Amino acid sequence: MSTLEIYQLDELEIDIIKKSEEDIKYGRVISQEDLDKEDLEWLSQI
């Protein structure tokens, strides 16, 4: 049995998705693990 779900997005949500796809495509993303590591390094300098 398959379930079909239909989503309706507004223009703002579509723009956010497009920008996210571009960020991933061009490597402008950071993993949560890397972000946590940077946070710890920054906090240790305070």
Q: How many residues does the chain have?
A: 46
3-state SS of 15-40 is HHHHHHHHHHHCCCCCCHHHHHHHHH
Domain span at residue 27 reads 11-44
Distance, in Å, from the CA atom of 41 to the CA atom of 46, rounded to the nearest integer, reads 9
pLDDT tens digits for 1-30? 577 888 899 999 999 999 999 999 998 888
Indicate the pTM of the whole model. 0.50
Residue 4 lies in a domain: no
Domain count along the chain:
1
Kindly state whether residue 29 falls inside one of the protein's structural domains: yes
Residues 29, 23: contact at Cβ < 8 Å? yes
Which pLDDT band, with edges at 50, 70 and 90, does 34 fall under?
Answer: very high
Asked, for residue 16, whether it belongs to a domain, the answer is yes
Q: Is pLDDT at 39 greater than 60 in this prediction?
A: yes
Average pLDDT over residues 29-35: 91
